[in-house]
Amino acid sequence: MRLAQPDMVSAAPTEVDRLVWPLADGADKSPLGVLSTTEPLLRLQRTQRVWEVPELDAQYAKAFLELWPLGSFLVIGHEPGQVLMLKAGPSSGDINTYQIQRFPGGVSLESSNLCMPDCPHLLAFLSASRDVLPRTLLLPTPTVGAGDNHSDPHRLGCIQVDTSGRVLSVVNQLYLETHGGWGTETPQQTEPETGQKYSLAPRKPTPHRVSWVEDPLRPEAHHTGQEVHHPGADAHSLGSEVHFSCPALEEEEVNNDCYKDEDEEGCEDMLTAHIRALARTRSSYVARQYRCLRARLISDSGNPYSPGDPATELLQDVRQLLTDLQNYLAKDPDVRAVFGNRGPSILREEDLGPAVEVALCRAVLEPLKPALWTKLRTLRAQELRRLRRRQIALRVGAGPEGQSPALRNRNRIHARLAHLHAACAPRRKVALLLAVCSDVYAGLGGGENKEPLGADAFLPALTEELIWSPHIGETQLDVEFLMELLDPGELRGEAGYYLTTWFGALYHIAHYQPDTGRAPQGLSSEARASLRQWHRRRTLHQQAQPTAQANQPFEEPWAIGDP
Amino acid sequence: MALRELKVCLLGDTGVGKSSIVWRFVEDSFDPNINPTIGASFMTKTVQYQNELHKFLIWDTAGQERFRALAPMYYRGSAAAIIVYDITKEETFSTLKNWVRELRQHGPPSIVVAIAGNKCDLTDVREVMERDAKDYADSIHAIFVETSAKNAININELFIEISRRIPSTDANPASGGKGFKLRRQPSEPKRSCC
């Protein structure tokens, strides 16, 4: 097991070091010298999402740590309540928690005089010198040579001892399977410092602080709608952990032209303005329908008479509302007149439907979006929490972010996922989802003979990307939203294929149970129920399919009589 | 001429050449302007069959075992399934039989099943005899061809045969007879299922 000693590095600090790591008095053992190598810092920066998981609660963090080697750690919570949790000893009670304090000049552990510019610097130091800790930190391993973990009996033993829950088993198995996370190798076995490694741009020091709304790419950051989260609040929390209250929508909000996805048409057109005006006119059909859905979104109760999944039913009702209004408005003489006067270009009858759809999304769907998403997060809270937990577990096993050939695309993919979430119109969301797919393909490179690669390559690559997605819960909701709102015809085509694949990848992340061996054999009743639910839902859109199919059990033919 | 969209699902172990087969099939029409799909996991090609146009919407699946539980989402609503194995790898043929069993239990009732023994250019290292595979396919009333995506052998024939087996629109699908009726053969002898 690697236990880095304070005296492992004794090179004298440079002037740059002194500037970069200003130290308060009280730090012991020539701390500057400890960090004269940048390897620990780079490793921490590259694995930041493995060790820094703000939304993980202490109980789960403890459960993870109990499985990992001594010296393993996690940073959880949000500023100012951020804490370092350290596995300090072999027994389950030996998980210590330290408050991380923020000062204008940097961060430090409570009861320590040592102050560093940010968390990675502080942890890098603590990996070499324990300061107030009972032991030095063991850093996550970015890369371990393939095959060398499976044969390590020490590690196998270590991992098997404390297995007590399902989540823990996942971590275990992935740990063994994919060589990531906290290793027990010596520093000499860490990856060689190749040029490629240093060509990687250092990641932002605290990516988890950057929420959807703080991201400059997200137009919603600048508007005053209900969905704006406060920095430091649990901006990407899941479900019931959402910190903002249920929005009380006012009538004026219908007129609130605050949101624009940057790639959508810039200025509001006459048609949108006309439909907005209709939605404000109390007695109009549009306004009645709008108010009806809005009331449902902000009420706490679901439909007590409906046995179905409430989130799905809600989305189906949204679709019903939009379809209904689109049909109604396309026949409305005023709408047709406005459409006819829209501009110098020649307008065709077949353009009316799509134009009304776009205007409806802006005038009706957009003002309801914050409330709709809040409701969906609440209804899906449990599933999203599990998805997030499994995602974190898979991250630990997935190795460093830098290992995917799609690394150079990853920042772009994250930006697109943020756009996807920020967008309102289903069509726009689909376009962005397909753009992410293109990025994933681009990261794969070509196959043999320059043939494009198929699902054998694409699905694992997409899954890997989603494992590193900073807001996987929102992506899950985006996918479900689109699956319910798209036309049935579209679901058979390319959009349907990729939506299915995204849903599948997310499902895989949320349900993967490697400890059961072959996944289909181990399909839990819960997983079967979920598949059945999916099946039933999709079958609703299938005009020609008999409904009997929807109720088939998902027994697995693989389990019996395997040749 | 009537246009029919036919969803076709590709199943089989990873590495058997599922996407190569489709790529070879759509290659000549893979013009970004004609076939603007973003990648090879989903591709389309329209062919004429008698007095109809058949637009194949081809859904590829990941062959890795860990993704198997996702397959129902892909074969659901499919008019046909192409199950691919590698003639040089016996175990991929065993996997194929499992797929047949799964489709029989959970697939669409009238799905047309086609079995493709790929890499038939590699006869030197063959592990699955063509005769055995053909007998198996016959026993379950499935289409059978040995293909070589590499040398473009039997690729178009595979899809033509699928077109031929798809019940025509004017016929009652329930009495088509030619299709592979998974659930309409409950008394099928066990030997046909491995």
- How many A/B residue pairs have CB atoms within 8 Å? 142
Domain boundary among A140, A160, A176: A140
Q: Decide if B178 is inside a domain.
A: no
> Dihedral sign, CA of A148, A151, A155, A161?
positive
pLDDT at A387: 95
B33 labeled part of a ligand binding site: no
DSSP string, B85-129: EETT-HHHHHHHHHHHHHHHHHS-TT-EEEEEEE-TT-GGG--S-
Please report residues of B whose CB lies closer than 8 A to that of A563: 94, 97, 194
The verdict on A353 and A412 lying in the same domain is no
Mind telling me how many Å the CA of B1 is from chain A's nearest CA? 20
Q: Chain B neighbours among A 543-562 (CB < 8 Å)? A: 545-546, 549, 552, 554-558, 561-562
pLDDT: which is higher, A126 or A201: A126
Q: The sheet that has A52-53: what strands, in order across it?
A: A52-53, A73-76, A83-87, A95-103, A106-109
Angle formed by the axes of helices A366-379 and A381-398, nearest 10° = 80
Q: Decide if B108 is inside a domain.
A: yes
Q: What is the complex's ipTM, to 2 decimals?
A: 0.87
Q: Decide if B194 is inside a domain.
A: no
Which of A319-323, A343-347, A483-487, B134-138 shows the lowest mean pLDDT across its residues? A343-347
Q: How many domains does chain B have?
A: 1
Give the span between the Cα atoms of A512 and A50, in whole angstroms.
19
pLDDT at A555: 40
DSSP-based three-state secondary structure for B59: strand
Give the span between the Cα atoms of A339 and A333, in whole angstroms.
10
Q: Can you tell me the mean pLDDT for A478-484?
A: 96
Q: Do A556 and B102 touch (CB under 8 A)?
A: yes
DSSP-based three-state secondary structure for A214: coil
The verdict on A50 and A130 lying in the same domain is yes
Can you give the residue range of the structural domain that contains B105? 1-163
The Cβ of residue A109 has, within 10 Å, a number of other Cβ atoms equal to: 20
As a whole number of Å, the end-to-end CA separation of chain A is 43
Q: Decide if A334 is inside a domain.
A: yes
Please report residues of B whose CB lies closer than 8 A to that of A504: 67, 70, 73
pLDDT for residue B177 is more than 60: no
Only one residue has tokens 């396309």, namely A330
Provide CB contacts within 8 A for A285, sequence distance 6+.
A328
Q: Chain A neighbours among B 46-65 (CB < 8 Å)? A: 57, 59-65
How many contiguous H segments (helices) and E segments (strands) does chain B have? 5, 6
Residue-wise pLDDT for A495-522, tens only, equals 999 999 999 999 999 987 765 434 444 4
* Residue A365 DSSP label: I
Domain boundary among A140, A156, A188: A140
The verdict on A134 and A75 lying in the same domain is yes
State the amino acid at position A523 in one-letter form.
L
Q: Decide if A189 is inside a domain.
A: no
pLDDT for residue A25 is more than 80: no
Residue-wise pLDDT for A29-44, tens only, equals 333 444 456 778 888 8
Task: State the Cα angle at A463 between A459 and A466, rounded to 5°.
Answer: 140
The verdict on A415 and A534 lying in the same domain is yes
Q: Decide if B127 is inside a domain.
A: yes
Q: Decide if A126 is inside a domain.
A: yes
Which CATH number covers residue A83?
A: 3.30.505.10
Q: How many domains does chain A have?
A: 3
Q: Do A455 and B106 touch (CB under 8 A)?
A: no
* Residue A561 DSSP label: S
The verdict on A529 and A437 lying in the same domain is yes
The verdict on A436 and A473 lying in the same domain is yes
pLDDT at B114: 98
> Dihedral sign, CA of A56, A62, A77, A45?
negative
Residue-wise pLDDT for A120-159, tens only, equals 888 888 888 888 888 888 888 764 333 334 333 333 223 2
> Dihedral sign, CA of B30, B34, B37, B43?
negative
Can you give the residue range of the structural domain that contains A317? 270-370
A89-107 burial, b if ≥16 CB within 10 A, otherwise e?
A: eeeeeebbebebbeeeebb
Q: Decide if A458 is inside a domain.
A: yes
Mind telling me how many Å the CA of A533 is from chain B's nearest CA? 11
pLDDT at A68: 78
pLDDT band at A235 (very low <50, low <70, confident <90, very high): very low
* Residue A268 DSSP label: P
The answer for B147, left when phi > 0, alpha when psi is -120 to 50, beta otherwise, is beta
Residue-wise pLDDT for A105-118, tens only, equals 788 888 787 788 88
Of A453, A512, A535, the CB nearest to B72: A535
Residue-wise pLDDT for A253-282, tens only, equals 333 333 344 334 454 688 899 999 999 988
pLDDT at A454: 93
Residue-wise pLDDT for A167-176, tens only, equals 333 333 333 3
Is A495 near chain B, with CB under 8 Å?
Answer: no
Give the span between the Cα atoms of A134 and A189, in whole angstroms.
25
pLDDT for residue B62 is more than 90: yes
DSSP-based three-state secondary structure for B60: strand
Please report residues of B whose CB lies closer than 8 A to that of A500: 59, 73-74
pLDDT band at A54 (very low <50, low <70, confident <90, very high): confident
B119 labeled part of a ligand binding site: yes
Q: Decide if B159 is inside a domain.
A: yes
Q: Decide if B118 is inside a domain.
A: yes
pLDDT: which is higher, A214 or A537: A537
pLDDT at A346: 60
B148 labeled part of a ligand binding site: yes
Is B94 near chain A, with CB under 8 Å?
Answer: yes
pLDDT: which is higher, A550 or B105: B105
Report field, pTM of the whole predicted structure over 0.80: no
Which CATH number covers residue B109?
A: 3.40.50.300
